[in-house]
Amino acid sequence: DVKVTQSSRYLVKRTGEKVFLECVQDMDHENMFWYRQDPGLGLRLIYFSYDVKMKEKGDIPEGYSVSREKKERFSLILESASTNQTSMYLCASSFRTGAYEQYFGPGTRLTVT
């Protein structure tokens, strides 16, 4: 079974803090993704990586950055957390081509106070 793990299930941070969310997958997938999930807005793509050190902006990249130094690990960084970044963050991975589904982690519920 594919496993996508995320470093924390719940996280509470203060405004202005730097926040790191980590994601690890064990299926040698080329693609990795970070989404945020908000009620009524579905899943919105923050960043996408299709290979080590390669990244592409998604629909809402502002205020976020990412790092992919190893194939299995994809990190999301909030440089200076703000209250409007309070959300559920989902990591996913997949094989490269579009015919393949994404596998999701359990999510990190981040609260910024």
The residues that touch another protein, with contacts defined as CB under 8 A, are 30-31, 33, 35, 40-45, 48, 50, 56, 90, 92, 94-102, 104-107
For β-strands 10-13 and 64-70, DSSP reports them as unpaired
Q: What is the dihedral of CA 101, 103, 108, 110, to 10 degrees?
A: -10
Pick the closer one to another protein by CB: 36 or 81: 36
Query: Which residue's entry shows tokens 């009620």?
Result: 39
Pick the closer one to another protein by CB: 13 or 44: 44
- Min dist. Cβ of residue 30 to another protein (A): 8
Pick the closer one to another protein by CB: 5 or 80: 5
- Min dist. Cβ of residue 6 to another protein (A): 10
- Min dist. Cβ of residue 40 to another protein (A): 6
Residue type for position 88: M
Pick the closer one to another protein by CB: 84 or 99: 99
What is the distance, to the nearest Å, from the Cα of residue 39 to the centroid of all Cα atoms in its chain? 17
DSSP, res 102 = P
Cα separation, 6 vs 8, whole angstroms: 6
